[in-house]
Structure 1
Amino acid sequence: MSVRRSLCATAVALTTMIALILPAAPAQAAAGPTVAVRWNEALLAAIRTGTLGPPMVARALAIVHTCAYDAWAAYDAVAVGTRLGGSLRRPASERTEANKNEAISFAAHLAAVDLYPAQRAGFDALMAELGYDPANPSSRPAQVGVSACGAVLDQRHADGSNQLGGYADTTGYAPVNAPVVVAEPLTTLNDPGRWAPLTFVNRAGAVVTPPFLAPHWGQVASFSGSARSLADAVPAPVPYGSPGFGAQSAEIVSVTAALTDKQKAIAEYWADGPSSETPPGHWSLFAQRISARDRHTLDQDVKMFFALAGSVMDAGIASWEVKRDHDSARPITAIRHLYRGQRIPTWGGRTVDGASWVPYQASTFPTPPFAEYVSGHSTFSAAAAEVLKRFTGGDAFGEQATVAKGASQVEPGVTPAQDVTLRWNTFTEAADQAGMSRRYGGIHFKAGDLQGRTLGRAVGGAAWERAKAYWTGRG
Structure 2
Amino acid sequence: MFLADISTWGQSIEPPVQQWNKMLLEAIRNDLARPNVHARNLFHFSTGQYALHMLTEGHNGTLADGNVSWPEVPEDLSSWVPGTNEYRDMMASYAFRFISLRYENSPGWVETLEDLEANFNSTTGTTPNVILNNSTPAVYGFDVANAINSAYMNDGSNQANNYENDCYQPANNPLDVTAEGLCDFSLENPDRWQPLSFGGSFVDQAGNETFEDVVPFSGANWGKVTPFALQSGDASFFNRDGCEYPVYFDPGSPVLLGEEDESLNNWQHGFAFVAKWQTQLNIEDSVVVDISPKSVGNLNADPEVPDFLYNEHEGGDIGPGHAFNPITGEPYEPELVLRGNFTRVLAEFWADGPDSETPPGHWFSILNEATMHPEFDWRWNGQGEVLEHGAWLARAYRLLGGAMHDAAIAAWSIKGYYDFVRPISAIRFMLAQGQCSDPTKENFSPEGVPLINNVFEIVEAGDPILDSQPQALGMVKVHQWVPNLETGVPSFEWRTGCSWWPYQRPTFVTPPFAGYVSGHSTFSRAAAEVLTYATGSMYFPGGLGTYDIGANDFLAFESGPTESFTLQWATYKDAADQCALSRIWGGIHPPMDDIRGRVVGSQVAERAIAAFEEGANEEDPTVTCPADIDANGQVGTGDLLFLLSEFGDICEDG
Smaller-chain TM-score range? 0.7 to 0.9
How big is the shift at 1:183?
Answer: 3.3
Q: How many Å separate the matches in 2 of 1:354 and 1:457?
A: 41
1:58 matched to 2:1? The reply is no
**What's the CA shift string for 1:323-353, capped at 9, x where partnerless?**
0010000011111111225212224542223
How big is the shift at 1:73?
Answer: 2.2
Query: Which residue number corresponds to residue 504 of structure 2?
Result: 361
Q: How many Å separate the matches in 2 of 1:239 and 1:123?
A: 48
Query: Which residue number corresponds to residue 195 of structure 2?
Result: 197
Query: Which residue number corresponds to residue 116 of structure 1?
Result: 103
Question: What is the 5 A alignment of 1:248-287?
Answer: 248-259=270-281, 260-273=340-353, 275-287=355-367
Query: Which residue number corresponds to residue 29 of structure 1?
Result: 10
Q: How many Å separate the matches in 1 of 2:49 and 2:114?
A: 19
- Any idea what SS the aligned residue of 2:192 has? coil
**What's the CA shift string for 1:426-463, capped at 9, x where partnerless?**
10011111111000111001011111111112112212
Q: How many Å separate the matches in 1 of 2:615 and 2:94?
A: 18
Query: Which residue number corresponds to residue 130 of structure 1?
Result: 123
Question: What is the 5 A alignment of 1:283-362?
Answer: 283-293=363-373, 294=376, 297-340=389-432, 341=434, 342-347=476-481, 348-353=491-496, 355-362=498-505
1:183 matched to 2:178? The reply is yes
Which of 573, 598, 601 in structure 2 is aligned with 1:428? 573
How big is the shift at 1:62?
Answer: 1.4
**What's the CA shift string for 1:164-192, capped at 9, x where partnerless?**
21111112x11111111123324231111
How many residue pairs end up in the alignment?
448
Q: How many Å separate the matches in 2 of 1:410 and 1:284?
A: 22
- Any idea what SS the aligned residue of 1:402 has? strand
Structure 1 residues 75 and 411, CA gap change in structure 2 (3 angstroms): closer
- Any idea what SS the aligned residue of 1:356 has? coil
How big is the shift at 1:288?
Answer: 0.9
Q: Which has the higher contact order (CA 8 A, sep 6+)?
A: 1
1:468 matched to 2:548? The reply is no
- Aligned residue identity for 1:58: A
Structure 1 residues 87 and 455, CA gap change in structure 2 (3 angstroms): farther
Contact 2:70 2:144 in 1 (8 A): no
Contact 2:230 2:604 in 1 (8 A): no
Question: What is the 5 A alignment of 1:210-249?
Answer: 210-226=215-231, 229=235, 231-243=248-260, 244-249=266-271
Query: Which residue number corresponds to residue 592 of structure 2?
Result: 447
Unaligned runs of 5+ residues in structure 2 are 1-6, 204-208, 236-246, 261-265, 282-339, 379-387, 435-475, 482-490, 621-654
Q: How many Å separate the matches in 2 of 1:469 and 1:458?
A: 17
1:80 matched to 2:61? The reply is yes
Q: How many Å separate the matches in 1 of 2:587 and 2:413?
A: 22
- Aligned residue identity for 1:302: A
Q: How many Å separate the matches in 2 of 1:205 and 1:53?
A: 14
Which of 150, 156, 177 in structure 2 is aligned with 1:154? 150
How big is the shift at 1:95?
Answer: 4.8
- Aligned residue identity for 2:53: W
**What's the CA shift string for 1:128-158, capped at 9, x where partnerless?**
2221542233534234323433332121112
1:418 matched to 2:563? The reply is yes
- Any idea what SS the aligned residue of 1:394 has? coil
Q: What TM-score, normalized by structure 1, do the two folds share?
A: 0.87
How big is the shift at 1:392?
Answer: 0.1
How big is the shift at 1:80?
Answer: 3.0
Contact 1:176 1:196 in 2 (8 A): yes
**What's the CA shift string for 1:366-408, capped at 9, x where partnerless?**
1111101001111111111111111000111122123332346
- The more displaced of 348-357 and 84-93 is 84-93
Q: How many Å separate the matches in 2 of 1:411 and 1:59?
A: 29
Superposition CA RMSD, Å: 2.6
Structure 1 residues 186 and 199, CA gap change in structure 2 (3 angstroms): farther
How big is the shift at 1:120?
Answer: 3.4
Which of 138, 141, 144 in structure 1 is aligned with 2:137? 141
Contact 1:75 1:94 in 2 (8 A): yes
Q: How many Å separate the matches in 2 of 1:267 and 1:373?
A: 18
How big is the shift at 1:90?
Answer: 4.9
How big is the shift at 1:199?
Answer: 1.9
How big is the shift at 1:416?
Answer: 2.6
Contact 1:270 1:434 in 2 (8 A): yes
Q: How many Å separate the matches in 1 of 2:213 and 2:550?
A: 31
Contact 1:261 1:416 in 2 (8 A): yes
- The more displaced of 92-101 and 360-369 is 92-101
Query: Which residue number corresponds to residue 458 of structure 2?
Result: none
How big is the shift at 1:108?
Answer: 2.0
Percent identity, please: 30
Structure 1 residues 145 and 467, CA gap change in structure 2 (3 angstroms): farther
Which of 86, 90, 94 in structure 2 is aligned with 1:103? 90
Contact 2:38 2:361 in 1 (8 A): yes
Which of 405, 415, 439 in structure 1 is aligned with 2:551? 405
From the CA coordinates, give the structure whose radius of gyration is larger. Answer: 2
Q: How many Å separate the matches in 2 of 1:465 and 1:335?
A: 41
- Any idea what SS the aligned residue of 1:250 has? helix
- Any idea what SS the aligned residue of 1:351 has? strand
- Any idea what SS the aligned residue of 2:505 has? coil
Unaligned runs of 5+ residues in structure 1 are 1-25
